[in-house]
Chain A
Amino acid sequence: MILRWFSHFATHVHLTTMALTREQIASIAGLARLELTPEEIPVYQDGLSRIIDFVGALDRCETANVVPMAHPLAGLSQRLRPDVVTEQDRHEQYQSNAPQVAAGLYLVPKVIE
């Protein structure tokens, strides 16, 4: 556990000199809910390592006191709308795209034993 925490800390500090491990790729794929085949893992290991290395160039840019930009139109705030119901009931139409429905409900494998 301590080792894992340390390796996170270490990669956090040295952004540009890292290659992701198989375990890290498996863990990222797990977080992203993506099943990877054993053959796919080295492909993403290589690709992601290159990308992470490439974006590490940002580390050399001085950004103290720079406000992060989340939206390209500065000063524009999120618009609010009146709290009224505007949606029509179209669940049958929407559910026609669902893989499995019954009685207006989406079906998934049993979640609670």
Chain B
Amino acid sequence: MSFHEKSAWVMGLIMIAGMAFYFRTVAAMSEGMEQLAPPVLPLVIVYIVVIVILSILGHILIAITRPSEADDMMDERDKLVAARAGNIAGLILGVGLISALGVYLFTYDGNQLFHAAFGALMVSQIAEYAARIIYYRAGV
């Protein structure tokens, strides 16, 4: 498994955990308020900071397991995998955002719009890493 494939696994798992944390927190806040909780800046900051820290730690662990590959540049296959996975992520993000905007036109719920848009971003990133893994495993 190449460094970049391992990176995709690590980032995919981190993003899934991060998404679960964020929406579980929003759900808990909403339950307390008996309505959809508004977006909270400290929660977003904690989410981002934790994602960044876990990403750094994860990549350090990957590098330690195989130091010789740690500074591998992306070769032509890595670049192709990244490009195709990025394309898929872009499509998913676009569909997610347009859907969120469409729902807003009917509900006029700004809180829902924010959470939906943020969720679309998370889902698109998870999809990108999943696509990278599939391309690495099954071929591109």
Q: Do A and B come from one complex?
A: no
Residue numbers of B with Cβ under 8 A of A are none
State the A residues within 8 Å of B (CB): none
